[in-house]
Chains A and B, each alone.
Chain A
Amino acid sequence: MRKGNQIIALIKKDLLLEVRQQYTFYGIVLYVASTIFVLYLAMGQPETKVWNGLFWMIQLFICVNAVAKSFLQDSRGRMLYFYSIAGAKDFILSKLLFNAGLMIIMSITSLLLFQLLLGDVLVNPLLFTGIACLGGISLSLVFSFLAAIAARAQQNAALMAILGFPLIIPQVLLLMKISTIAFSDVIQSGLAEMCAVLAGLDILVIALAVILFPFLWKD
């Protein structure tokens, strides 16, 4: 099998698992919905700056919960099987891609719920949707790799949060800075530059994950 095919096959496997065990997917959707509902009860409809801050914080927690299970669901025996049929690089790339896709869906869901419950504050909804997707991808990449570390250490999502929160700060700060642009009708300069920095960080994380995952993988 060619390399691309292996990655696609592994993503298909994850999708199939997701379809067969739909409770996990709906579990995360329910987590998103109930968190935002509680937030709505607590905050009502906050001003844009608070809205923005809350949105990215909620994304962070959704990401930890959505991504945490991606490495924990595979048992040791099954991991050994994947090891024998696919390379470590294909495996981590497929996980990164799958989690990025999952986070895009979750970001859009939570954006819709935020719009619905916490007030429609966006000036440029299309742009903000794009930023939310980009942000979701960035968060998912970092936390996917940390999930792999936490899974090897036989730990839960709590360790992931400890390991990940300090490391995710630059992405979150960049995202907040970028998303303030979507709230103002004046076009601010530096948007493309900051998006490029974010994309650069994403590429860095992917490269690190591909280089380092083979060392995590073998027992």
Chain B
Amino acid sequence: MRRNWWKILSVILLVYTFIAGLLVKLPPGVAYEQSNMYESMRNFFFHVPMWFSQLAVITVSLVYSIKFLRNPLAKYDWYAADFAATGTVLGSLGLLTGAIWANYTWGAPWNNDPKQIGAAIALLVYLAYFVLRNSLTDIDKKGRIAAVYNIFAYFIYIPMIMILPRMVESLHPGGKEGASGGGNPGLGGSSLDPAMRAIFWPAVIGWILLAVWITTLRFRLKALEEKKYSTV
């Protein structure tokens, strides 16, 4: 029980997110009140945490890749791959929730927005990572080469999502220097009021914990499978 507190916390936070996120009274008098954004703003509590948790798990995946290069233990490689897989699922969900939202507020699911492009690139990079992994049969070599690509890709991807949104106009909050909320590729600070913040940050933590939980389950499943076949 003591060791599982974070799983309970994750469930509580997510239940809170779903109830409060769908029921909370959206603050009146904000810029988007009159726009077609207003009620769909609730998607903010579900769409944005996907990206926070995706970034968190691919960072953990990076850490395990570095650990594997320093000390080649199979479990580090599995963790790196499993966290990357969870990140890919979260990225797909983020893209999907974003596309639904965009369909209602911007008129089309895909708008060539720099952040949509960045999200698509992340998916392509991690799918390529799995193609590379599966093309290798030697287990030790697989771990090492996949880890090298994982690290290389991460350190190119992060500067890219810092540079890309600054270069072009974006429909998302934050974007090109000088535009409203510009200069910051992430959130535009002014669009978040305290009531929303009180739901948003718990949601981020809840989703991250859930992502870690799912990954550890996958890892344990893999470890059990390995044990089953190695004893026979």
Residue-wise interface mask of A (178-208) relative to B, using a CB-CB cutoff of 8 A (1 in contact, 0 not): 0000000000000000000100010011001
Which residue of A has the minimal Cβ distance to B144?
A215
Residue A169 lies at the interface, judged by CB distance under 8 Å to chain B: yes
The SS class assigned to the B binding surface is: helix
Those of B152-186 within 8 Å (CB) of chain A: 152-153, 155-157, 159-160, 163-164, 167
In contact, A163 and B128 (Cβ under 8 angstroms): yes
Residue numbers in B under 8 Å from A155 (CB-CB) = 135
Residue numbers in B under 8 Å from A212 (CB-CB) = 148, 151-152
B200 to chain A, nearest CB (A): 29
Those of A128-159 within 8 Å (CB) of chain B: 142, 145, 149, 152-153, 155, 159
In contact, A166 and B159 (Cβ under 8 angstroms): no
A172 to chain B, nearest CB (A): 11
Most A CB contacts (10 A, CB to CB) among B117, B128, B136 go to B128
Which residue of A has the minimal Cβ distance to B153?
A167
In contact, A208 and B151 (Cβ under 8 angstroms): yes
In contact, A166 and B151 (Cβ under 8 angstroms): no
A162, A173, A215, A216: the one within 8 Å of B167 (CB) = A173
Q: What is the total of A-B residue contacts with beta carbons within 8 Å? A: 67
In contact, B159 and A170 (Cβ under 8 angstroms): yes
In contact, B125 and A166 (Cβ under 8 angstroms): yes
In contact, A149 and B148 (Cβ under 8 angstroms): yes
Residue numbers in B under 8 Å from A166 (CB-CB) = 121, 124-125, 128
A interface bracket (residues with beta carbon within 8 Å of B)? 20 to 34
Which residue of A has the minimal Cβ distance to B155?
A208
In contact, B128 and A162 (Cβ under 8 angstroms): yes
Residue B141 lies at the interface, judged by CB distance under 8 Å to chain A: yes
Residue numbers in B under 8 Å from A197 (CB-CB) = 163
Residue A174 lies at the interface, judged by CB distance under 8 Å to chain B: yes
In contact, B124 and A165 (Cβ under 8 angstroms): yes
Residue numbers in A under 8 Å from B149 (CB-CB) = 149, 163
Residue A49 lies at the interface, judged by CB distance under 8 Å to chain B: no
In contact, B155 and A216 (Cβ under 8 angstroms): no
Q: Determine the distance from Cα of A197 to Cα of B166 in the docked complex, in whole angstroms.
A: 12
Residue B205 lies at the interface, judged by CB distance under 8 Å to chain A: no
Residue A177 lies at the interface, judged by CB distance under 8 Å to chain B: yes
Which residue of B has the minimal Cβ distance to A150?
B132
A211 to chain B, nearest CB (A): 8
Residue numbers in B under 8 Å from A149 (CB-CB) = 132, 145, 148-149, 152
Q: Determine the distance from Cα of A169 to Cα of B164 in the docked complex, in whole angstroms.
A: 9
Residue B147 lies at the interface, judged by CB distance under 8 Å to chain A: yes
Contacts from A to B (Cβ < 8 Å): 142, 145, 149, 152-153, 155, 159, 162-163, 165-167, 169-170, 173-174, 177, 197, 201, 204-205, 208, 212, 215-216, 219
- Nearest 5 CB-CB pairs, A to B? A166-B124, A170-B160, A166-B125, A166-B121, A212-B148
Contacts from B to A (Cβ < 8 Å): 69, 117, 121, 124-125, 128, 131-132, 135-136, 141, 144-145, 147-149, 151-153, 155-157, 159-160, 163-164, 167
